[in-house]
Amino acid sequence: MSFVRTKTAESDHLVSCDGARTTKWQTPQTGNSVLEIQTYPDSSAITKSQREQLVPPYHWHWYQEEHFTVTQGYADCLPSPVTMLTRNSTFVFTLNGKDTKISATDPNPRINITPGAPHTFAPDPSYKGPCVIEISAETSPLSSETTSTDLGVSERFFRNLYSYLEDCSRQNTSPSLPQLLLFLDSAEVSLAWDVGPRWLMQYVTYGLGVVIGRWIGGGLLGYKGSYLEYYNPELNETKKGK
């Protein structure tokens, strides 16, 4: 049975994992490529299988600085320069192998991820209640006034990735590794490992994206970095200031 792509480009928001997360996009400020808002109605109710789909893999960005702002609830993030904080968290960030919890009530509910820093994030599973986080990224230096859509992390990337994973879940199909790596490679993103020197990890994971994602996935298997069913520039591209 062939894989069917749901036409989600026509929707102004995406619902993932039976409502465990809702994602929408707004016009980013000048100099940014995206402004994404994720809402989790109840972080504590998210199942293990849902978290496997919702939580990004450990990764790093080639050029862009990424910003996370918790506006409601608590989050866990992993960045190395940040120490572990004890409080009622709503998101957990992992940066450079260290976990940090951030709440909307913190004096500074924002964390910045520099290019090359390995990281991921997830809504705190112990927090009962809604969690909302805003994700933005500075425009890729490879983008210009002449590019038809923003390079790097953008609404295009997120819509394709989330829609694809949701379709895989609905059709009880395991996501294709070459397709996932092609999505990442097309967004100037590579997987990350906390093994060995960072520079070596970056060379290896970048190479994986190129060989398995770009060459095998895109060249041999015919996968694309973006699909019109998931993202249509005429419908989804928000007006951005470069």
Closest to 82 in 3D by CA, of 50, 114, 35:
114
Tell me the three state secondary structure of residue 34.
Answer: strand
Q: What tens digit of pLDDT does each residue of 136-152 get?
A: 999 999 876 545 566 89
Q: Is the pLDDT of residue 70 over 70?
A: yes
pLDDT at 237: 66
CATH of domain 13-236: 2.60.120.10
pLDDT band at 204 (very low <50, low <70, confident <90, very high): very high
pTM recorded for the entire structure: 0.89
Residues counted in the chain = 242
Cβ–Cβ under 8 Å, residues 59 and 118: yes
Domain residue spans in the chain? 13-236
Q: What tens digit of pLDDT does each residue of 95-109 get?
A: 888 899 998 888 999
Q: Average of pLDDT values for 67-87?
A: 58
